[in-house]
Every structure is written in C-alpha cells, then in structure tokens.
Amino acid sequence: MVKVSITQKPPVLLDLQASIHLAVEIIEEAASNGAKLIVFPEAHLPGYPTWIWRLRPGGDIALGNEIHAKLRANAVNLKAGDLKPIAEAAAKYQIVVVMGAHELESEFSGSTLFNSLFVFDADGSLLNRHRKLMPTNPERMVWGMGDGSGLKVVETAIGRIGCLICWESYMPLARFALYSQNIDVYVAPTWDNGDTWVASMNHIAREGGCWVLSTATAITGSDIPDDFPGRSQLFKNEEWINTGGAVVVKPFGGIAAGPMHKEKAILYADIDLEASKNARKSLDVAGHYGRPDLFKLNVDRSTVSPVSFQDDQSLKKSPWGRG
C-alpha cells in the first residue's frame, strides 16, 4: 500500500514566490503524514485564472490586460529555475510531486503562457511537463495550446503516473494515449467539481482500470489578496469561488476518499498499485478488449515551437512564412 495525498489549499493568487513558499510547506506537511505522492490543483502556481469567467466580454479589457500582465510576471519560467524549490522539497522529503502552474514560454516570444503540469520524482528529478492541449472557452485568452510531448506515463518512486488537465479528461483519444502506457495512477487536476465531475472520474477509473486522483482549489473571496486588480468588482469576501472536491477513485470505480468540499486541507488515501492491473482482467481497453486489429491511435509527441519554422530553409525570408 502507498499513501497518497491531494491538496486543495489555495495559493496566494498572482504571487509566485509566496505561492511556492506555501507549496513547500504543503509538501512538508503531506510527507510528515506519511504520503509518498502529493498532487496540487490545476494552475496552482500562482492560482487558477478564475477572473476570466467574471470579466465582462468586451467591457473589462483594460482590467483584463492589467491582471494578465501581473500573471505573466508571476508565471513559472522553467529555464530560470523557478521550480527549483519544488524539486528540492521533493528530494528532501522523498515524495513524488505533481504541480500545476502557469508556465511562461521564455525562449522564443517571452510572452505566451501555458497551463502546465510538472511531475517530480522523489529524488527531485523532473520526469514530465505536460501542457494543456486545449484551453476551455475564455481560458484561450490566457493560455496557448500545448502539444503531445507530455502525453506520457512516467515511472516514479510510487508507480506509473499519467496526467491530464481538467477537461482534457473529456478527450477520449487523450485518455487512451495514457491508458496505452500501462498506467497505475491517472492524475486529473481541474477547476471543475461536483457530482458530474466525480461521475466522470469514476468512468475513467473503470475505463482505464487505474487509480484516479483529482482536485480543484478550495478558495473563498477572502483568500484573494487585497492588491488584486479589480478585487472589489470581481469577488465577494464571503463567497466560495470553488469548493475544491478532492477525490480518490478506485480502479474500476468506487470512491476511496473524498470528495472533500469547502475545506482548505489535504486529502489522504492508501492505494494498492496492483489493483490497477487486477482491474484490467475483465476490461483492458488498451489490451485484449481494445481490438488493435481494428483500431489504432497515432500520437505526435514532438514539441511544437517556433524553431521549427526557423529550421525550414524555404522560409528564410521570414521565420513565419513568406514575407
């Protein structure tokens, strides 16, 4: 058995360094309680952009630009070593960490943000970065579209982990791309919650024959910093902006822990990794039940970046095409 943990404690919205400090404290707390895996919510560093669902379309452009500029200044720059404290904490406490973050693409444009998940092993090594493939509705005003380079299941100290972000879990081919890699634990950080989301996590646990761990951030209006642009216009102190919903689902379905609502806390569960393979005896969608003679999935796992244009000699006059 392995003890896993899921945090739904809020970060300090739009403050990267303060949020990283809190995240390290959460990692220490989880490890001190015996957890060997800690999962953070979607875009935890420095907080999910919940304001995009509240800004008036076409009416709050100046405010939206001000908030986005602050977000960009507080996004994770991997090349600058922003996640070094997280890696060091993973190694210090010998715990696998799945961290959601806004990631700044710093090498080419220096401006585009991605909704990314980072998987650190218990020795602090970075095993995978997955960028959200398709931002949902107004999220497309915040994040660029990711690529297939992170659609992989990685071997960690506690088993084989694969991750999808929020509504990527409604993309059947993305799910199958993970199922087909001998997955033990399916991690789904999100901003969604409620009965429909839990039902979806149950479906995935049955379909994939794997453990499913999911959570959003439990956050109230009172958690929004006083210096957040447009705070009084966008948030009320007493409201629950999101209630969290951390949940652990057994392979083939059934709740093992949670859902945890309206608690700024950590959810714990003991899981048996062998249960994943046992669950696929009857239904193995990537194996004997999958009919590979009829169906095939090809995934482009290359990293997409502007350098691919620059390497094309036919486009010498302009790195973006004819010009």
Mean pLDDT across 65-79: 96
Say whether pLDDT at 310 is over 50.
no
Pair 208, 160: CB distance under 8 Å? no
Question: CA 252, CA 15: separation in Å to the nearest integer?
Answer: 39
Residues forming the active site: 42, 132, 166
Mean pLDDT across 180-189: 97
Q: Across the chain, what does the average pLDDT equal?
A: 92
Domain ranges of the chain: 2-295
Residue written as tokens 């999101």?
242
> Which overall architecture, per CATH, does domain 2-295 show?
4-Layer Sandwich (3.60)
- pLDDT tens sequence across 233-292: 999 999 999 999 999 999 999 999 999 999 999 999 999 999 999 999 999 999 999 998
- pLDDT tens sequence across 21-69: 999 999 999 999 999 999 999 999 999 999 999 998 878 999 999 999 9
Q: What pLDDT is stored for residue 316 in this prediction? A: 36
- pTM for the model stands at 0.92
Give Cβ neighbours of residue 35 (< 8 Å, ≥ 6 apart). Answer: 3, 4, 5, 95, 266, 268
- pLDDT tens sequence across 87-134: 999 999 999 999 999 999 887 778 899 999 999 999 999 999 999 999
